[in-house]
Amino acid sequence: MPTMPGKIALLELLKQEGVRVMFGNPGTTELPLMDAFAAERDIRYVLALQEAPAMGMADGYAQASGQLACVNLHAAPGLGNAMGMLYDAQKAGSPIIVTAGQHEQRFNFTEPLLWADLPVIARPFVKWSEEVRRLSDLPRAIHRAAKTALAPPTGPVFLSLPGDILTDSEDLDLGHPTRVAHGIRGDAGAIAEAARLMAKAKSPVIIAGDAVPQGNALQELVAFAEALAAPVYDEGMATRAMFPSSHPLYRGALVRLPAAIRGMLDQHDLLVSIGADLFTLSLPDDVDSMPEGMPVVHLDTNPWELGKNYPAKVAILGEPKTTLPEMTQALLALRSGADAAQVAKRLEQARSEGISSLARLHANAEALSERHPIHPLSLMQTIGRMLPPDAVVIDETVSSGANLRRFLKSDDPQSFFGMRGGGIGWGLPAAIGAKIALPDRPLVALIGDGSAMYTIQGLWTAARENLRMVFVVINNYSYRILKQRTNAMKGLAAQADTYVGMDLDRPRIDFVSVARGLGLTAYRATTLWEVQDMLEAALAHDGPTLLDVEVDRSWKPV
């Protein structure tokens, strides 16, 4: 067994596990690791200016690449800075090894500056959290962390790395990686039972979740949806492209409000959830999302989600990639000729409704295209028309991106990424990580102005790495969604028409100057024509560009 210092062993172990990029922001407790990087040629270190952007970049990279990501944080304050983005990564199921430097163990009993019990801090938001206390355990710790992060359901893990673990040397057996096979096939009996329920349904509906794109199962879901003749909705907090947006059965994302979900489900007699959560909501309501007695068939890779909030008639633990074809086959096998004719008629009607609803959406956007300032719906339509078919869109529009993906050419699992956890500030750094993972695809990040300011320093990393990408800041000079929801409370703010702490207009943030100061090309647009011209130039520019787009500030219900 070779003798090597822990800092070199750490990098060798990460390379064994397939890590090729580490995101981070170093401090004194990370200096041994940074010293090792002086001689490292295979792992790319991407510098962020603060830990929250570093964590968001790792999340975006993990989702876009489908590979193990790694991020290194600085002691207790650094881990604290990253917690909001770590929460988002947990909700998205992103496979990330999160590490943080810790003081040398002989020093820690004195509770030195920046010390805290790091595994305890991280534990609520990761699959596994531990501190490495012996150099001989480092190989086992890294291999266990990687295996756990990548095992279904995937998610982040955390390791605290004391300084002496990295500076000490020892004879080490580095071991080998372990991978848990992902192709879990659903139980045959449950599939048969689900098929019997689906065959009887007259008006089924499908809600698709992130297990579909994570398992590269979009085409399997298309075949299943066509066999069932059912419209398909994205789960309310859509992380990825769950279903091809060009398909006429696609209906967009659920609205995260119980009354809206209930209104949709009341039109159907069977709910089939394919990897979707039921339901992640934004606000409580006296109306329950689920109609009483609604039968549910639920397929997921995570047993926790099955029957979590509503009982399922059939709950199937399995991967959509391997299980959906069997569900489709079982369903088709139960159909008689007469049944098949009725389903064909239902499928044609569902297709026609999808085409008609999309046409109405485009007509609404066209009708608003002359508005000034720009109406968000028309902006989404314009961007959708401008983007090339292989574009990747990162969405943190929050309140301005309604129906965004219906306007996009978003037909593959890597074409769209959204803020699954809801912790704002995610989109800007996640876009940087996604671009590093997908360097050959055009990438546009759509970010609200309030969200952008949470992690604005991430722009510097985009410039430093010379990433060919576009940031579109959708600027309404406010926290628009907070005004909407405060107004809905019908309390003192609504009565006085006064919304404290929700405007960003005194002074207005000069995103163009900020972006240029951080090394980007930047423009301001106030008309759709300017957006078109500037977006075309930005997509052709060899480097990062920011567009500050002023949009309509109105927010009250009409």
Do residues 514 and 388 share a domain?
Answer: yes
Do residues 82 and 152 share a domain?
Answer: yes
Do residues 30 and 163 share a domain?
Answer: yes
For residue 501, pLDDT beyond 80: yes
Mean pLDDT in residue range 119-145? 97
Q: Which of 519, 411, 410 is nearest to 456 (CA)?
A: 519
Do residues 235 and 134 share a domain?
Answer: no
The amino acid that residue 110 corresponds to is: T
- Report pLDDT for 1: 65
Residue 286, domain extent: 188-354
For residue 212, give the CATH number of its domain: 3.40.50.1220
Q: How confident is the model at residue 481 (pLDDT cuts 50, 70, 90)?
A: confident
- Report pLDDT for 490: 86
For residue 288, pLDDT beyond 60: yes
Do residues 349 and 374 share a domain?
Answer: no
In a domain, 394, yes or no: yes
Entry pTM: 0.96
The answer to whether 7 touches 36, Cβ cutoff 8 Å, is: yes
Strands (E), 320-415: 392-396
Do residues 403 and 543 share a domain?
Answer: yes
Do residues 248 and 378 share a domain?
Answer: no
In a domain, 361, yes or no: no
The answer to whether 484 touches 555, Cβ cutoff 8 Å, is: yes
Phi, psi dihedrals of residue 487, rounded to the nearest 5°:
-60, -35
| pLDDT, tens digit, 9 for 90 and up, residues 66-103 | 999 999 999 999 999 999 999 999 999 999 999 999 99
Do residues 110 and 140 share a domain?
Answer: yes
Measured between alpha carbons, how far is residue 33 from residues 22, 115, 194, 246, 395 in Å?
11, 18, 52, 47, 34
Under DSSP, is residue 478 helix (H, G, I), strand (E, B) or coil? strand
Q: Mean pLDDT of all residues in the chain?
A: 94
Inter-axis angle of helices 75-92 and 51-65, to 10 degrees?
30
Burial of 338 (0-12, 13-18, 19+ CB in 10 A): exposed
For residue 56, pLDDT beyond 60: yes
CA distance 206 to 439: 33
| pLDDT, tens digit, 9 for 90 and up, residues 199-231 | 999 999 999 999 999 999 999 999 999 999 999
Residue where one domain finishes, among candidates 321, 354, 387: 354
Structure tokens at 305: 């989600």
Structure tokens at 522: 């930047």
Residue where one domain finishes, among candidates 115, 145, 171: 171
- Report pLDDT for 558: 57
Percent of the chain with pLDDT over 70: 99
Do residues 237 and 307 share a domain?
Answer: yes
In a domain, 182, yes or no: no
- Report pLDDT for 349: 95
Structural domains in the chain (count)? 3
Do residues 163 and 311 share a domain?
Answer: no
| pLDDT, tens digit, 9 for 90 and up, residues 332-387 | 999 888 889 999 999 999 999 999 999 999 999 999 999 999 999 999 999 999 99
DSSP calls for 138-180? HHHHHHHHHHHHHSSSP--EEEEEEHHHHH-EEE---------
| pLDDT, tens digit, 9 for 90 and up, residues 431-464 | 999 999 999 999 999 999 999 999 999 999 999 9
Inter-axis angle of helices 138-150 and 6-16, to 10 degrees?
30
Do residues 219 and 331 share a domain?
Answer: yes
For residue 113, give the CATH number of its domain: 3.40.50.970
In a domain, 452, yes or no: yes
Residue where one domain finishes, among candidates 145, 171, 197: 171
In a domain, 183, yes or no: no
HEC-encoded secondary structure of 181-249: CCCCCCCHHHHHHHHHHHHHCCCEEEEECCHHHHCCCHHHHHHHHHHHCCCEEECCCCCECCCCCCCCC
In a domain, 360, yes or no: no
Number of H helices, E strands in the chain: 23, 20
In a domain, 529, yes or no: yes
Strand order in the sheet with 416-418: 416-418, 392-396, 443-448, 470-475, 545-550, 521-525
Mean pLDDT in residue range 25-33? 94
In a domain, 181, yes or no: no
CA distance 204 to 207: 10
- Report pLDDT for 479: 86
Do residues 203 and 263 share a domain?
Answer: yes
